[in-house]
Copies of this chain bind each other. A is one copy, B any other.
Amino acid sequence: MAGRAAEPEVIWARPERSGRGPRPAYSRADIAAAAVRIADAEGLDAVSMRRVAAELGCGTMSLYNYVPRKEDLYELMVDAAGGEHELWEPSGDWRADMLRVAHQTRDLMHRHPWLPRLMSPVYGFSPNALRYLEHCLACLDPMPGPQGTKLELIAMLNGIVTTYVTNELATAERARSLPWSQEQENAVRGAYLMSRVASGAYPRMAAAFAEDPGPIDLEAVFERALTRVLDGFDPRR
């Protein structure tokens, strides 16, 4: 019987190769890379077991030898993306290091727009996620206080980055599978919103739209959000 257990299972706990039987034709890395390739090129919704198997050049059900459930395929993808995190020797300035981490995560999500959708606390302990977490904690060594607080900070920053990038990408990832362009969608939604606001029922929203903020600098908004969170955690303030 193959690995389709009726019990919960962590894919990272099962060995990639178990000695007996024919040598597996693909590695976990191969499979993850195939899925990531598809998701990058055609969007997350294009990642189906059949599609990934086809990309690998094997039968659909062969995939289930490697990946008991589709969810585990997602976990492989998130881990593969996490492997792109470039780690460094902590500088001693934990605030600067955490800012750098956050920016790197944001870049990662831009490179793989499907990542935010798969980023859930559930997939938190893949090998690369552990590597990443340990690195963050190392960066936070100079920060006083209990480890628990540091974990809180890391979680908070990750949450902010995910939320922010989700906003940034908006419908971009979803739009790939729609029959119309994102510009069309934004135009229609914008027109509707303007008509509602113009109705006069929402005076403060109207004021918000009326005020001219100058050129909107999303980058600055992001930076400000991070700084605010770091301030909130900085014991020197």
Report, as a range, how many residues of chain A touch the other chain.
35 or more
List, in ascending order, chain B residues with CB within 8 A of A8's CB: 178, 180, 184-185, 188-189
Known: A7-B188, A10-B192. A156 touches B225 (CB 8 A): yes
List, in ascending order, chain B residues with CB within 8 A of A133's CB: 202, 205
Q: Is the CB of A179 within 8 A of B233?
A: no
Q: Is the CB of A204 within 8 A of B166?
A: no
Q: Is the CB of B166 within 8 A of A163?
A: no
Query: How many copies, total?
Result: 2
Task: Digitize A177-195: 1 where CB-to-B-CB distance is under 8 Å, 0 elsewhere.
Answer: 0111000110011001101
Interface residues of A in 137-157 (CB under 8 A from B): 137-138, 141, 146-148, 150-152, 155-156
Task: Digitize A18-41: 1 where CB-to-B-CB distance is under 8 Å, 0 elsewhere.
Answer: 000000000000000000000000
Q: Is the CB of B163 within 8 A of A213?
A: no
Which one, B195, B211, B229, contacts A148 given CB within 8 A?
A: B211
Known: A147-B211, A167-B155, A232-B228. A134 touches B10 (CB 8 A): no
Residue of B nearest to A192 (CB): B10
Which one, B122, B167, B229, contacts A121 given CB within 8 A?
A: B167
Which one, B6, B146, B192, contacts A211 given CB within 8 A?
A: B146
List, in ascending order, chain B residues with CB within 8 A of A231's CB: 228, 231-232
Q: Is the CB of A188 within 8 A of B10?
A: yes
CB proximity of A175 to chain B, nearest CB, Å:
10
Q: Is the CB of B211 within 8 A of A166?
A: no
Q: Is the CB of A192 within 8 A of B13?
A: yes
Known: A228-B233, A231-B231. A148 touches B184 (CB 8 A): no
CB proximity of A77 to chain B, nearest CB, Å:
17
A interface residue numbers (CB < 8 A to B): 6-10, 12-13, 120-122, 125, 130, 133-134, 137-138, 141, 146-148, 150-152, 155-156, 159-160, 162-164, 166-167, 170-171, 174, 178-180, 184-185, 188-189, 192-193, 195-196, 201-205, 207-208, 211, 213, 221, 224-225, 227-229, 231-233
